[in-house]
Chain A
Amino acid sequence: MTPSSRYWSAGRTFAWLAVPPLVFLAAFLVIPLARVIVGSFTGSGLTLAHYEKVFSAPVYTHVFVYTLQVAFTVTALCLVIAYPLAFVIANIRGTAQKLMTILVLVPLWSSVVIRSYAWMILFQRRGILNEALLSLGWIDEPLQILQTSVAVQVAMVHILLPFMVLPLVTTMMGIDHTLIRAGRVLGAGPVRLFLRIYLRLSLPGVTAGCALVFITALGFYITPALLGGTQNTMTAVVIEEAVSVFFDWPLASALSTVLLVITMGIYLLYARFTRGDLGMVGK
């Protein structure tokens, strides 16, 4: 009998509680993921053929590049749009703050399908935006907005905005204003105060929000599938297509593994410089 089992330990009992979720996730998350990775190498024996297909065909490399570009653009836009809003919410008092927070949360409470659908209605040839622009006389003919990259990115910004606002607000509400006051006492003007002190103090929220939005954007399916055209497909759409249209599971696995590696890479990069919980555990 090992010495440590001589003694009763609370910690040990609690550690055993991890077993059921561990078993469940091992069976239904780890093994499936392993299947995907292993499946990407199957053929007649172990092969890299599928990865060759992925990296040689311009179609697929274009999709990956496009996905990364969209994720980057959407993240940047979300940051720029959300930052001032988060600032207002964090620094305003009482009922106004509560109301604004609810208004940020409500869109999150409706599904991505519904929100993307609404953008479809907005962007249709006979949709609201076109009707409005026509009636204002700003254009002569309805614009083709659906099936463009712009439509996808605008809708994605809209859907992902709350994910940038919430971590920013959380961090900003924790900023110690005596630090700002100290800066003012030392003679800094509002611009310098903001740039050198406030911005830096809000950085944890910025990185958490950006990581969250970027990683989520990478894997987006519904919005690009509905609003993008065949020219502007993102990785998740291509993966789904590989399975449902081409029945090429190994190809889908290879594409998925690449996406997985990129996603994990971004996350590990983020986790290296921060606590790594995307601001979710232990607020």
Chain B
Amino acid sequence: MTAAKLGSKLTFENVAKRYGAFTALEPVNLVIEAGEFFALLGPSGSGKSTLLGMAAGFVPPSQGRILVEGKDISRVPPERRNIGMVFQNYSLFPFLNVFRNVAFPLEMRRVPKNEIAERVNRMLSMVRLSHLADRLPSQLSGGQQQRVALARAAVYDPSVLLMDEPLGALDKNLREEMQDEIKQFHAKIGATIIYVTHDQHEAAAMADRTAVLNQGMVMQCGPQSQLYEAPANAFVAGFLGEANILRVAEVATEGYAARVKSVEGIELTAARRTANGASLVACIRPENVVVSKTPLQNANLFEGTVVNVVHAGGNIRYRVQVNGSCCFIARTPTRREHEKHQQGERVFVGFDPEDTLLIPE
């Protein structure tokens, strides 16, 4: 038994894509390490599928190079790139049964028949579908089809596996189950995986590192924790979970901190800033905002009225109106001993300067 072949390092060197006057992707430089599970995260039209298409070979770049283990593959057609790809609509061959579907790439590579059977069966048992080898794709459920697609894309040990929103067509519970499967699959085969998704929870659940894209540009790239705790700009902050975002009108540095006045007139102190440029925003995560009936110790303290209360999952989400047009969102875990507030209550909201970021817009 051969050990799983380890993945390859993939580099996007200054690649961009333009369609006439429209730029789908601004010049991108990304290095994806061998064996890494890398997510491309962003809303539709952000350019993430374009980037994936370039790696696969279906979207010719307008400029730049794509390197696999240092070798330029820009001129290599898809069938010689030794990559695997899984699509959102599975793209299983409807006229072949499960076994023949998975065997297809091996037949293309002229693997001897007995070896084909062995490898296909091994792959099918890895995705737990051996009992369905004779079925046609139309006779399988969505989740089963996706597992076949996975098996088919990996059976020939590609060094890079590309996935284009593969779980988009599945319902929530199935999706989470499949996320675990894919993660385990990754651990078993060791290939480099590039995973495109618009769902930040999905990226968080599976990826080692994530690149966040918007309107054809890479906003930030790094592990999930870094993206969440130190977002590079307002877009990243807002995309990865909720955030209180206030547009900054005036900034004045005071020692190690900055006194900030927002456009709505709210004054607060921010201890972390990542930029000095013109348009900044102040960003505070809801779980760092405390709501209380009695005044708090935080340096940033405001009085307001509870406008909305939502009990979702294990959290209570409060929306507190502090000043005319400005609301703060606070989130506390639902615990027996925590204070609970009603709509219409007068409360205090507070947060620390260390939790207040100044980032570009």
A is bound by B: yes
Q: How far is the CB of B27 from chain A (nearest CB, A)?
A: 14
Contact-size category for B: 10 to 19
Whether B75 pairs with A3 at a CB distance below 8 angstroms is: no
Residues in chain B near residue A8, CB distance under 8 A: 57, 60, 74-78
Complex Cα gap A8–B55 (Å): 12
Whether A7 pairs with B61 at a CB distance below 8 angstroms is: yes
Residues in chain B near residue A11, CB distance under 8 A: 60
Checking A3, A9, A10 against B63 with a beta-carbon cut-off of 8 angstroms, the contacting residue is: A3
Residues in chain A near residue B78, CB distance under 8 A: 8, 10
Over the window 1-35 of chain A, the binary record of Cβ atoms lying under 8 Å from chain B Cβ atoms (1 yes, 0 no) is 00110111111000000000000000000000000
Whether A7 pairs with B58 at a CB distance below 8 angstroms is: no
Over the window 69-97 of chain B, the binary record of Cβ atoms lying under 8 Å from chain A Cβ atoms (1 yes, 0 no) is 00000111110000000000000000000
Complex Cα gap A9–B61 (Å): 9
Complex Cα gap A7–B74 (Å): 5
Whether B58 pairs with A6 at a CB distance below 8 angstroms is: no
Q: How far is the CB of A23 from chain B (nearest CB, A)?
A: 25
Which residue on chain A has the smallest CB distance to residue B61? A7
Most buried by B among A3, A7, A9, A10: A7
Over the window 39-83 of chain B, the binary record of Cβ atoms lying under 8 Å from chain A Cβ atoms (1 yes, 0 no) is 000000000000000000110111100000000001111100000
Complex Cα gap A53–B57 (Å): 61
Which residue on chain B has the smallest CB distance to residue A11? B60
Q: How far is the CB of A167 from chain B (nearest CB, A)?
A: 30
Complex Cα gap A4–B58 (Å): 14
Complex Cα gap A41–B129 (Å): 74
Residues in chain A near residue B77, CB distance under 8 A: 8
Which residue on chain A has the smallest CB distance to residue B77? A8
Complex Cα gap A9–B60 (Å): 6
Complex Cα gap A9–B53 (Å): 11
Residues in chain A near residue B75, CB distance under 8 A: 6-8
Q: How far is the CB of B15 from chain A (nearest CB, A)?
A: 10
Over the window 320-335 of chain B, the binary record of Cβ atoms lying under 8 Å from chain A Cβ atoms (1 yes, 0 no) is 0000000000000000
Residues in chain B near residue A3, CB distance under 8 A: 62-63
Residues in chain B near residue A9, CB distance under 8 A: 60
Whether B58 pairs with A10 at a CB distance below 8 angstroms is: yes
Q: How far is the CB of B256 from chain A (nearest CB, A)?
A: 50
Complex Cα gap A7–B15 (Å): 12
Residues in chain A near residue B74, CB distance under 8 A: 6-8
Complex Cα gap A245–B76 (Å): 62
Q: How far is the CB of B85 from chain A (nearest CB, A)?
A: 14
Q: How far is the CB of B68 from chain A (nearest CB, A)?
A: 14
Complex Cα gap A3–B57 (Å): 16
Residues in chain A near residue B63, CB distance under 8 A: 3
Which residue on chain A has the smallest CB distance to residue B60? A7
Residues in chain A near residue B60, CB distance under 8 A: 4, 7-9, 11
Q: How far is the CB of A177 from chain B (nearest CB, A)?
A: 29
Complex Cα gap A9–B59 (Å): 7
3 closest residue pairs by CB, A with B: A7-B60, A9-B60, A8-B77
Interface set of B (CB-CB < 8 Å, partner A): 57-58, 60-63, 74-78
21 pairs, A vs B, C-beta closer than 8 Å: A3-B62, A3-B63, A4-B60, A6-B74, A6-B75, A7-B60, A7-B61, A7-B74, A7-B75, A8-B57, A8-B60, A8-B74, A8-B75, A8-B76, A8-B77, A8-B78, A9-B60, A10-B57, A10-B58, A10-B78, A11-B60
Given contacts A7-B74, A10-B57, list 10 more A-B pairs with CB under 8 A. Answer: A6-B75, A7-B60, A7-B61, A7-B75, A8-B60, A8-B76, A8-B77, A9-B60, A10-B78, A11-B60
